[in-house]
């Protein structure tokens, strides 16, 4: 069974600084998707970034970028120039491409605080 | 222009009652989901429908029954509510089961 681990339950970063959230996953599959979702205090789940496993190039989305290491099964999220609005729970998620009946697997989340 | 909407956003009810949570998406997606988020923020999938057909049915009590009248709606009905059902329930949708999901605002259910 696939699992997703986020080893940092909580992290903090100074405003305008850079922070990296870690995510590792366990799978025997080679074709899958990885995602980072953000859940601010408003409770809304927001997609931050998506990575296809077959793509070697790391995905980027404005201040958000990932470091995808397929062999190591690692998928970290880097937030540059942190802003107060980045404070939220961040969830890493995995989805195998092969079977519609398989679900998304979410990690336990990392709570990010941004200090002014 | 709400993409995925849920009603109600808050629901307080007593043990033993039956309640429903409605979900609608206007994104034209084929797949819809229900998740439960517990007090520790852990997200667990409950059900998934693709083109109105159930494709994921995780181990949840049969007091929980999803109903998909059409591709744009996936409602969750809960019978005989228990204290342990208190949680935030999220509806989500995706273009197909492989693509990223778009979440509704969540429904905070409190059972007293």
Q: Mean pLDDT over residues B31-44, rounded?
A: 90
pLDDT at A63: 97
Q: Mean pLDDT over residues A68-92, rounded?
A: 96
Minimum Cα–Cα distance from B55: chain A residue? A101
For chain A, the domains span 3-98
Give strand ranges (E) for B1-112: 4-7, 10-13, 19-25, 31-37, 43-50, 53-57, 64-70, 73-78, 87-94, 102-103, 107-111
Q: Mean pLDDT over residues A3-31, rounded?
A: 94
- How far is Cα B23 from Cα B30, in angstroms, rounded to an integer? 14
pLDDT in tens, B85-106: 999 999 999 988 777 889 999 9
Q: Mean pLDDT over residues B8-22, rounded?
A: 97
With the C-alpha atoms ordered A82, A88, A92, A93, is the resulting torsion angle positive or negative? negative
pLDDT band (50, 70, 90) for residue A100: low
pLDDT at B50: 85
Whether A83 has a pLDDT exceeding 90, the answer reads yes
Distance from the B92 Cα atom to the nearest Cα atom in chain A, whole angstroms: 9
**CB contact B103 to A (< 8 Å):** yes
Instruction: State whether B105 and A44 contact (CB < 8 Å).
Output: yes
pLDDT at A17: 97
All residues at 6 or more sequence positions from A40 whose CB lies less than 8 Å from its CB, including other chains: A46, A85, A87, A88, A89
Whether B40 has a pLDDT exceeding 90, the answer reads no
In CATH, what class is A3-98?
A: mainly beta
- How far is Cα B24 from Cα A29, in angstroms, rounded to an integer? 33
Q: What tokens were used for B98? A: 């492989």
pLDDT band (50, 70, 90) for residue B77: very high
Contacts of B108 in chain A (CB under 8 A): 43
End-to-end CA distance of chain B: 34
Query: How many CB atoms sit inside 10 A of residue B2's CB?
Result: 10
In CATH, what class is B4-111?
A: mainly beta
Provide the mean pLDDT of chain B.
91
């Amino acid at each position: 069974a696939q699992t997703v681990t986020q080893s940092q339950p909580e992290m903090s970063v100074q405003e305008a600084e850079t922070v990296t959230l870690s995510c590792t996953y366990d799978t025997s599959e080679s074709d899958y998707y990885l995602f980072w979702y953000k859940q601010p205090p408003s409770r809304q789940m927001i997609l931050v970034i998506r990575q296809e496993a077959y793509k070697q190039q790391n995905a980027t989305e404005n201040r958000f970028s990932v470091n995808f290491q397929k062999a190591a099964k690692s998928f970290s999220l880097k937030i540059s120039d942190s802003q107060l609005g980045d404070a939220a729970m961040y969830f890493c998620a995995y989805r195998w491409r092969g079977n519609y009946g398989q679900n998304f697997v979410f990690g336990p989340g990392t709570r990010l605080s941004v200090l002014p | 222009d709400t993409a995925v909407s849920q009603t109600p956003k808050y629901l307080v009810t007593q043990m033993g009652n039956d309640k429903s949570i409605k979900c609608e998406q206007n994104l034209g997606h084929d797949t819809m989901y229900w998740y439960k988020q517990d007090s520790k923020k852990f997200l667990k999938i409950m059900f998934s429908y693709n083109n109105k057909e159930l494709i994921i049915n995780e181990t949840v009590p049969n007091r929980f029954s999803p109903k998909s009248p059409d591709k744009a709606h996936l409602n969750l009905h809960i019978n005989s509510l228990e204290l342990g059902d208190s949680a935030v329930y999220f509806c989500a949708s995706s273009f197909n089961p492989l693509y990223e999901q778009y979440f509704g605002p969540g429904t905070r259910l409190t059972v007293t």
